[in-house]
């Protein structure tokens, strides 16, 4: 059996990453979300162990000291970390993973697991992102300005990713995302072990 592939997905806040990833995960078989650890407050619609494992700062620090994280980062003042054992167990089980993390985390995962596939989801333009964040009507202007400043820094790093997906229209973006996953799954290194036995004496 082949090893699982890590699809690391980053996007600035307001890009629709979560909606897109949920849709892709529903449509494509053998694609699983990792559940990160975080010190941020649980939101009303979130369930511990589903969106995140919600832990105290003390517990998070213990986990850092124990080497439990493949990467961890401070995002908007809260700590987030990806469990190293979860990645290793899932990979060995041949399960492909969607790892939704910020740009710092993506870089760290790529360094640790160079065969990871880095996907960046971007809005059609910076203006569209501003309109989307303002249109939510949930955040104060200074919060929106802060998010836009962070978004600009994140967008500047998109050139370091393997794939760029524009999220203008959800269905189109979902199709593009699926194409990336399919192409990566068809890489010779992933397919060859299964094909080899069908060509005995021909493929060594």
36 binds ligand 5GP (CB under 6 A): yes
80 binds ligand 5GP (CB under 6 A): yes
Interface stretch with ligand 5GP, choices 69-77, 90-98, 139-147, 186-194 (CB under 6 A): 69-77
* Residue that has been written with the tokens 């949930």 in this structure: 138
| Between 37 and 181, CB nearer to ligand 5GP | 37
Query: Which pair of structure tokens corresponds to residue 10?
Result: 């980053």
Q: Give the C-alpha separation, 129 to 166, whole Å.
A: 12
* Positions in 102-131 near ligand 5GP (CB under 6 A): 102, 104-105
Tell me how far, at minimum, the Cβ of 193 lies from ligand 5GP, in Å.
Answer: 30
Sign (positive/negative) of CA torsion 150, 151, 155, 156? negative
* Residue that has been written with the tokens 């041949």 in this structure: 94
Tell me how far, at minimum, the Cβ of 188 lies from ligand 5GP, in Å.
Answer: 31
73 binds ligand 5GP (CB under 6 A): yes
Query: Which pair of structure tokens corresponds to residue 132?
Result: 């989307």
DSSP string across 27-96:
HSTTEEE--EEE-SPPPTT--BTTTEEE--HHHHHHHHHTT-EEEEEEETTEEEEEEHHHHHHHHHTT-E
| Between 36 and 116, CB nearer to ligand 5GP | 36
14 binds ligand 5GP (CB under 6 A): no
Tell me how far, at minimum, the Cβ of 38 lies from ligand 5GP, in Å.
Answer: 6
User: Which residues sit at the interface with ligand 5GP, rule CB under 6 A?
Assistant: 36, 40, 71, 73, 75, 80-82, 100-102, 104-105
């Amino acid at each position: 059996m082949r090893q699982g592939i890590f699809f690391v997905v980053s996007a600035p806040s307001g890009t629709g990453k979560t909606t897109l990833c949920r849709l892709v995960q529903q449509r494509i078989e053998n694609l699983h979300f990792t559940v990160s650890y975080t010190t941020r407050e649980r939101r009303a619609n979130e369930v511990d162990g589903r969106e995140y494992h919600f832990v105290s700062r003390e517990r998070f620090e213990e986990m850092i000291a124990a080497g439990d994280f493949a990467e961890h980062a401070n995002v908007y003042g809260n700590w987030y970390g990806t469990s190293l054992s979860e990645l290793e167990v899932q990979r060995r089980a041949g399960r492909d993973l969607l790892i939704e993390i910020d740009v710092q985390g993506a870089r760290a995962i790529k360094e640790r697991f160079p065969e990871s596939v880095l996907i960046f989801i971007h809005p059609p333009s910076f203006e569209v992102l501003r309109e989307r964040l303002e249109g939510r009507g949930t955040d104060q202007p200074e919060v929106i300005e802060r998010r836009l400043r962070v978004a600009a820094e994140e967008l500047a790093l998109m050139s370091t990713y393997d794939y760029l997906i524009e999220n203008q229209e959800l269905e189109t973006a979902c199709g593009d995302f699926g194409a990336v996953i399919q192409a990566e799954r068809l890489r010779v290194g992933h397919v060859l072990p299964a094909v080899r036995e069908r060509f005995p004496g021909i493929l060594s």
